[in-house]
């Protein structure tokens, strides 16, 4: 089963290229990728964006993620997405759904729905 990253990675790469966004985790990496005359800012997790494009990039990226989520839901359905993320975050092993709840927050999936799926799967012997 695909993850959200699979649905957005190509469009996200195109957006990064279009906006001049890149990742740098050291001054050396930053210096290799920066363009002269452009002022950059860090927007988190090593992501560097031209200061003049932060707002536009953020809006376009948010829309891209929303489209990816819609495609994920269309192809996989809410129940399978919950099961995928419960497994991904090892919730059946840890007994906690907290990480899964946080991950699926942007999907609009409630903690109650996740907990119901978690409990139903545990009854099946997961």
Give the other-Cβ count within 10 Å of 89's Cβ. 19
The CA–CA distances, whole Å, from 22 to 5, 50, 59, 62, 68 equal 17, 9, 17, 17, 21
Please give the DSSP secondary-structure letter assigned to residue 39: -
Q: What total of structural domains would you count in the chain?
A: 1
Walk along the chain (126 residues) in steps of 10 and give the mean pLDDT of each run: 95 98 98 97 97 98 98 97 97 97 97 97 83
**Structure confidence by residue, pLDDT tens digits, 29-44:** 999 999 999 999 999 9
pLDDT at residue 58 in the model: 97
What is the 8-class DSSP label of residue 47?
Answer: E
Task: Determine the pLDDT at residue 44.
Answer: 96
Domain extent for 74: 4-123
Q: Which of 56, 92, 85, 48 is nearest to 69 (CA)?
A: 85
Report in angstroms the alpha-carbon separations of 120 from 92, 94, 95: 11, 16, 13
Nearest to 38 by CA among 14, 20, 12: 20
d(CA 48, CA 22): 5
pLDDT at 1: 86
Tokens of 46: 């090593």
* pLDDT computed for residue 126 by the predictor: 52
Q: What is the per-residue pLDDT for 125?
A: 76
pTM for the full model?
A: 0.87
The CA distance from 31 to 66, in Å, is 32
């Amino acid at each position: 089963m695909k993850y959200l990253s699979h649905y957005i990675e190509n469009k996200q790469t195109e957006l990064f290229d279009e906006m001049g966004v890149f990742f740098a985790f050291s001054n050396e990496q930053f210096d290799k990728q920066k363009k002269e005359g452009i002022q950059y800012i860090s927007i988190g997790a090593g992501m560097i964006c031209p200061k003049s494009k932060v707002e536009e990039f953020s809006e376009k990226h948010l829309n891209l993620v929303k489209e990816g989520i819609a495609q994920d839901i269309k192809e996989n359905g809410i129940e399978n997405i919950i099961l995928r993320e419960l497994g991904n975050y090892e919730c059946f092993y840890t007994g906690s759904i907290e990480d899964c709840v946080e991950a699926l927050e942007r999907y609009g999936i409630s903690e109650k729905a996740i907990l119901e799926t978690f409990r139903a799967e545990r009854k099946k012997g997961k």
